[in-house]
Amino acid sequence: MPATNVEESQVLEALKSVEDPDLHRDIVSLGFIKNLRICEGTVAFDINLTTPACPVKELLEKQARRAVAALPGVEQVNITMKAEVKTARGPDTSALKGVKNIVAVGSGKGGVGKSTVAANLAVAFALEGAKVGLLDADIYGPSIPIMMGAPGETPIRDNLIQPKVAHGVKFMSMGFFAQGDQPLIWRGPMAHRAVEQCLTDVEWGDLDYLFVDLPPGTGDVHLTLVQTVSLTGAVIVSTPQDVGLTISMKTLRMLQETKVKILGIVENMSYHLCSHCGERENIFGHGGAKEAAKKMDIPFLGEIPLDTEIRKNADMGVPIVIGQPDSAPAKTYREIARALAAQISIANFNSTKLEVVEEPA
């Protein structure tokens, strides 16, 4: 068959064999195929995914290339992988109008590494090519300025607070309101206004994802967040041991009761690898969060080890996904980020029922 006889309909029919394993539809009906061109024996097109952090990006590209290359007359297949992050959030006229997804990161108790997880996930998303913001809403223990390596005050321009930028992430923190070791002694209404201001009075600009690092527990900040903005969902960070898991589940239940979708659970400090012998030690137990996720039919996003290098990098203001990108913990964070990105896309797909491209009758 001459190469010039390759038809667009043949290419699209071949691509219907490629299915997104998370959205459970083929990439043609999902509308992922854009800018299809055929020139003699060369077929070129874009695959426009729902997130740059898609965990099956390479798989979809490989399957699409194979499907089209198998057509008679096709000599070359050129694929450009792109992404357009979707949103299920309602209209917003505040400074958040350009933010497509807001994701809360919470835990039941302090000391489980929640802020470290939030910072590394935000940077991991940015490394994938997404536009990312991070709000440190932990009033009583703000640590994001230290972890992101950018302490100090934030300027105000045109009545909007300007977020700082580090490692490709725009971020704002309660810590900017009280420098050094100065405590924030605020009652509920003051905390409510501060969180509201950090959400709606900050010039976030256009973001694909805004992560909100919540304080431990189920207090005023959590309620303010769900009352002020429409959340895409939340991630729960827990340690494996019973006490940490039990308290984290309180936060999970509170979010569920306020109609916030749980996007997944992360087990932090899941295990420790001895730096001398390499032996694995389950210091806080192991697998509790994964088992809880299974029982509640909630996605389990992954296990992060208890690793000294994670702490060292955080203290230096360089999240480990940037500071030591080839380390095992950094790779784990990147994998969790991709798993989370998939869950956000699924949540948006289910909420909006994204328009599906149908074949003409």
pLDDT of residue 188: 53
C-beta of residue 81 within 8 angstroms of C-beta of residue 49: yes
Same domain, yes or no: 66 and 119: no
C-beta of residue 198 within 8 angstroms of C-beta of residue 135: yes
pTM: 0.87
| Crossing angle for the helix pair 188-200 and 220-228, to the nearest 10 degrees | 40
* Tens-digit pLDDT string for the chain (361 aa): 444 588 999 999 999 999 999 999 999 999 999 999 999 899 999 999 999 999 999 999 999 999 999 999 999 999 999 999 988 766 665 678 899 999 999 886 667 788 999 999 999 999 999 999 999 987 766 788 889 988 777 888 888 889 999 999 999 987 776 655 555 555 556 666 777 888 888 999 999 999 999 887 666 677 778 878 888 999 989 888 655 566 667 777 788 888 888 899 999 887 776 666 666 766 665 667 788 888 888 999 999 988 888 989 999 999 999 999 999 899 999 999 999 999 999 999 887 654 444 444 3
- In sequence order, what are the beta bridge partners of 44? 37, 78
pLDDT of residue 179: 57
State pLDDT tens for residues 170-225. Answer: 999 877 766 555 555 555 566 667 778 888 889 999 999 999 998 876 666 777 78
Q: Do you know the residue count of the chain?
A: 361
State pLDDT tens for residues 295-337. Answer: 888 999 999 988 888 989 999 999 999 999 999 899 999 999 9
Q: Which residue range(s) make up the domain with 115?
A: 102-352
Same domain, yes or no: 33 and 168: no
How many CA atoms, within 13 angstroms, populate the side-chain half-sphere of residue 261?
A: 20
CATH code, 244: 3.40.50.300
Same domain, yes or no: 8 and 127: no
> How many domains does the structure of the chain reveal?
2
Same domain, yes or no: 12 and 149: no
Alpha-carbon Rg for the chain in angstroms: 22
The 3-class SS string of 212-247 reads: EECCCCCCHHHHHHHHHCCCCEEEEEECCCHHHHHH
Q: Is residue 360 part of a domain?
A: no
Same domain, yes or no: 77 and 123: no
Q: Is residue 92 part of a domain?
A: no
Whole-angstrom distance, CA of residue 112 vs CA of residue 268: 7
Whole-angstrom distance, CA of residue 214 vs CA of residue 114: 8
Q: Quick one: residue 236, left, alpha or beta (phi over 0 = left, psi -120 to 50 = alpha)?
A: beta
Same domain, yes or no: 28 and 108: no
Same domain, yes or no: 221 and 283: yes
Same domain, yes or no: 154 and 124: yes
Among residues 26, 51, 83, which one ends one of the domains? 83
What single-letter amino acid sits at 93? T
